[in-house]
Amino acid sequence: MRVVIAEDNVLLAEGLQLLLGRAGMEVAATVAGEEEFVRAVDEHRPDVTIVDVRLPPAFRHEGVRAALTARRARPGLPVLVLSQYVEMMYATRLLSDGRGAIGYLLKDRVGRVEEFVRALRHVATGGTVMDPEVVAQLLAHRRDDPVDALSPREREVLALMAEGCDNTAIGRRLHIVESSVNKHVGNVFAKLGLSAADAGGHRRVLAVLAYLDNQRRHPPA
């Protein structure tokens, strides 16, 4: 598995190269800037990328902006954001295309190398991985847990949405026609209180975040 890393901290970048190499992955390039990242993705065609939120020169949101640019050029490019910060607006934008293959982990909360590598592989295969603190901040305005009101089928649909599946893929996985998927997705949005106007066009993202938050607080037995 080929990886491109955007990280300006030399020690962390070197450490990532070392641990990924031990895990059998190839680090094709390590860069420290926005434009360099976009060029590296275009040149090396990685299977997954690791991006810090804040990169030179301004150390604001260059990394996530670079990831957005790269995903426009390569839709569905797997991106794992690894940062000390939760960049609310850009995190939502990064998640909003509904293609999955997105992760957002906080550096200070990554406790075990094996868990990090597992998360990176999950993102590379189209999954979504979110630090619970990131989910909590993105859902801070939601006090209840409407996910519990979903039917078993609606929860199955939402779980597949969280894996990055579009409606066509969900239909194939559940062996149902796409019109039925559309109906279930509409019911999920309605029960989660996500109208097109209220959610600013990001209903699918917010639905997935609500599911991940529910899974965090009520893990399977």
* pLDDT for residue 55 is more than 90: no
Cross-strand bridge partners of residue 81:
51, 104
Task: State the pLDDT confidence band at 185, using cuts at 50, 70 and 90.
Answer: very high
Burial of 58 by CB count in 10 Å (0-12 exposed, 13-18 middle, 19+ buried)? exposed
CB atoms within 10 A of CB 122: 18
- Residue extents of the structural domains in the chain: 2-138, 146-217
**Which CATH fold topology does 2-138 show?**
Rossmann fold (3.40.50)
Spatial neighbors of 155 by CB under 8 A, at least 6 apart, are: 147, 211
* pLDDT for residue 61 is more than 70: yes
Of 13-27, 110-124, 165-179, 190-204, minimum mean pLDDT range: 190-204
**Which CATH fold topology does 146-217 show?**
Arc Repressor Mutant, subunit A (1.10.10)
In one letter, which amino acid is 160? L
Q: Round the average pLDDT of the chain to a whole number and report it.
A: 84
What value does the mean pLDDT take over residues 49-67? 86
- Structural contact between residues 130 and 110, judged by C-beta atoms closer than 8 angstroms: no
User: Closest Cα partner for 196 from 185, 184, 211, 180?
Assistant: 185
Task: State the pLDDT confidence band at 215, using cuts at 50, 70 and 90.
Answer: confident
Tens-digit pLDDT profile for residues 155-168: 999 999 888 888 99
- The pLDDT value recorded for residue 221 is 55
Q: What percent of the chain has pLDDT over 70?
A: 84
* pLDDT for residue 108 is more than 50: yes
* pLDDT for residue 98 is more than 80: no
Whether the upstream peptide bond of residue 46 has omega within 30° of 0, thus cis, is no
- The pLDDT value recorded for residue 206 is 80
What value does the mean pLDDT take over residues 21-31? 94
Cross-strand bridge partners of residue 205:
none
Most confident range, picked from 81-95, 127-141, 154-168 = 154-168
Q: Do domains 2-138 and 146-217 have the same CATH topology?
A: no
Distance CA 210, CA 12 (A): 31
How does DSSP classify residue 61? S
What value does the mean pLDDT take over residues 48-75? 88
- The pLDDT value recorded for residue 198 is 47
* pLDDT for residue 116 is more than 50: yes
